[in-house]
Chains A and B, each alone.
Chain A
Amino acid sequence: MHNLEPMHHLEHRLVRCFSSVFPDLDEEQIRNASIESVPGWHSLASVTLISVVQEEFGVQVSLTDLPNLVSFSAVQNYVQHHLAS
């Protein structure tokens, strides 16, 4: 469990990742972001976002999981799970 980091720290880093791909969103909008609520969240943005997240957290994201990573909270849960395992 040594990979676990404080929740707020992880969330802050994840907000940075989202912000790099969706620079027009503020922090609050990012925390509530989902594929339905963000107009620019298309497939290319998804691939870019996941690549940024992989690089930031050092987790390997399977591209087959991509269809499930459709909101900030889904990505957050995914990263938490992989850091813990």
Chain B
Amino acid sequence: MKLIDALAVIRRPLPGNAPFLRVSLACGFTPLHFETFLTAALRERSSAERVEITTGLFGDLAGNIEGIRPAGCDALVAVLEWQDLDLRLGVRNLGGWRVAELPDIVKSAQRMLARLEKAILTAAASIPTYISLPTLPLPPLFTTPSQQASAYELELRQALSTFAASLATQTRIRILSASHLDEISPPSNRFDVQSELLAGFPYQLSHASALAELLAALIRNPSPKKGLITDLDDTLWSGILGENGVDGVSWHIDQKAHIHGLYQQLLASLASAGILTAVASKNEPALVQQAFEREDLLIDKQSLYPIDVHWGPKSESVRRILKTWNIAADSVIFIDDSPMELAEVKAVFPEMEFLLFPKTDYQAFWQLLRRLRDAFGKAIVSEEDSIRLDSIRAAAALEKSSNGEGTSLDSFLQDAKASVTIAFGKEKEDHRAFELINKTNQFNLNGKRLTESSWMAYFNDPTTFLMTVSYEDKYGALGKIAVLLGRMGGKAATIDYWVMSCRAFSRRIEHQCLGWLFENLDLQEIGFAYQPTDRNKPIQDFLAGIAATPLPTDVRVSRADFAEKCPPLFHQAKATVNA
């Protein structure tokens, strides 16, 4: 983005009631155009938010971070440069670059990194924190020629890496990828010496823009895709199964089919991180079954579900797969080597993302791998991610069973040997609960999302509580699948947020949640901050079943009404209550 465009973006009008995104920008330089670029990049990514950036004092990065006040701050952005670690690592101060001074510069930088780490950890306890490590070149203070790394320089970089690796393990801290920045902002075009010396602003405009764009992408990152549907022939493997046979298809380097092996490897990695992966292939089912028995496959057959193989249009497969996964088409990527197949599915599901498998173009294949990692990238892999596919299989099995003849839902649920584990308290470090609130659409009380800072702030009210629900039955564990956030008020409670994973539908877990609240909190009434959305019909139907119809926005359910309308529950309920 050019500066003139950034200025135009930040002046775009906003509605008077636009919510604020308040960002504390901590840096040791004059923020000048970087502040403009960051504001504009955030506005571009979140056009409905009023971005407000506050900055600190020149030359005092650590002090600026230590002085952050969490109240009213949605994000902390810390932009480090070498001179923040020791002024002699910059060009505005003349502290000396003599050989004898180099060890002290390194030690002083290490001390400052320790101070910064402490300050950042303190801030990140209450505010989501985004960090850019030094992006500018070190000045020529070492005795070695520029093509040779000095031991002192390596010590400095080692200290910085240790600092960053330690912080990166924290859930509320994100470190900007230096290698990604290198790709879009060449290191040799970043430093503006004149501007640094005369104005205290060290960046070329193009670099300030690139850095701001990436930080904005960290702060307001798009939701990752949830599912990948792949073709088999000339995609998952090289060759045509029906022509080459089970032993004729390949993915090994000696058959010049290595890119298919790499593709399998990436898919296995995605599946292990909880990404849903399925197959849509025009093939002979029995032959595909045999091919998946090959022991040299790099992706386990169990990681691919469903495997939908037939000779009909692939859009039919995609429809069935989406129904099994119960996710929307816009959360899915479809990959095939045939432009015709891509076009056929696209005509039916235009909102899906389509990628051509480039079987002969290695560079395009490399870009495909990178695109997949970006599209499905997530900061944290949770326990629920690892059991997601199993729970979808279990749900499919449950549905198949419950659709059988001569059976009722009651008898199936009774036979399911289900247990529900409720955690009640204020465990605000629960990343899975936060994630569910922000990605669940169907069983969602009002469609409202929470930023990390508003999540933290919610629990500052002493009357609020967090309830999470985990579920398991004989078909398998679903993990943590429901979250309620509410407030107590005597014999009544108000539920402000309530979401439940679609994988947990049809098990009466929602009834169990309310039943537990009535019983264990001795409530006479529960109110719901309900709002209809385009996608929350499941919760509309549920509330309509226990409250008045049509639903008012101020939904209230009495203990007596709930007891009358609640169907039989067969779960074994366990609970942990934290103060």
Q: Which residues of A are in contact with B by a Cβ distance under 8 Å?
A: 16-17, 20-21, 23, 44, 47-48, 51-52, 54-56, 62-64
- Point out which of A51, A56, A64 has the most chain B C-beta atoms below 10 A from its C-beta: A51
Give the complex CA separation of A63 and B194 in angstroms: 8
Residues 166-196 (chain B) with a chain A CB within 8 angstroms:
194-195
In the complex, what residues of A have CB within 8 A of residue B3's CB? 20, 48, 51-52, 55
In the complex, what residues of B have CB within 8 A of residue A21's CB? 7
Nearest chain A residue, comparing its CB with the CB of B6? A20
Main secondary structure of the interface of A (DSSP, over half): helix
- Whether B4 and A47, one on each chain, are in contact in the complex, defined by CB atoms closer than 8 angstroms, is no
Give the complex CA separation of A55 and B4 in angstroms: 8
In the complex, what residues of B have CB within 8 A of residue A16's CB? 4
In the complex, what residues of A have CB within 8 A of residue B33's CB? 48, 51
- Whether A63 and B199, one on each chain, are in contact in the complex, defined by CB atoms closer than 8 angstroms, is yes
Give the complex CA separation of A44 and B31 in angstroms: 11
Give the complex CA separation of A55 and B11 in angstroms: 19
Q: Could you list some 19 contacts between A and B, CB below 8 A?
A: A16-B4, A17-B4, A20-B4, A20-B7, A23-B11, A47-B32, A48-B33, A48-B36, A51-B33, A51-B205, A52-B3, A52-B7, A54-B205, A55-B2, A55-B4, A55-B205, A56-B4, A62-B194, A63-B195
User: Distance (Å) between the CB of A46 and the closest chain B CB?
Assistant: 10
In the complex, what residues of B have CB within 8 A of residue A20's CB? 3-4, 7-8
How many chain-B residues does the 8 Å CB contact rule pick out? 14
Give the complex CA separation of A52 and B205 in angstroms: 9
In the complex, what residues of A have CB within 8 A of residue B198's CB? 63-64
In the A-B complex, the 9 residue pairs with the closest CB atoms: A63-B198, A20-B7, A20-B4, A52-B4, A52-B3, A55-B2, A55-B3, A51-B3, A55-B205
User: Distance (Å) between the CB of A20 and the closest chain B CB?
Assistant: 4
In the complex, what residues of B have CB within 8 A of residue A55's CB? 2-4, 205
Give the complex CA separation of A63 and B7 in angstroms: 21
Give the complex CA separation of A7 and B409 in angstroms: 81
- Whether B11 and A47, one on each chain, are in contact in the complex, defined by CB atoms closer than 8 angstroms, is no
Told that A23-B11, A44-B32 touch, could you supply 11 new A-B pairs with CB distance under 8 A?
A: A20-B7, A21-B7, A48-B3, A48-B32, A51-B3, A51-B33, A51-B205, A52-B4, A52-B7, A63-B194, A64-B198
In the complex, what residues of B have CB within 8 A of residue A47's CB? 32, 199
Nearest chain B residue, comparing its CB with the CB of A63? B198
Residues 46-81 (chain B) with a chain A CB within 8 angstroms:
none
In the complex, what residues of A have CB within 8 A of residue B7's CB? 20-21, 48, 52
User: Distance (Å) between the CB of A49 and the closest chain B CB?
Assistant: 10
Give the complex CA separation of A54 and B33 in angstroms: 13
Give the complex CA separation of A20 and B199 in angstroms: 21
Give the complex CA separation of A47 and B196 in angstroms: 13
Residues 1-41 (chain B) with a chain A CB within 8 angstroms:
2-4, 7-8, 11, 32-33, 36
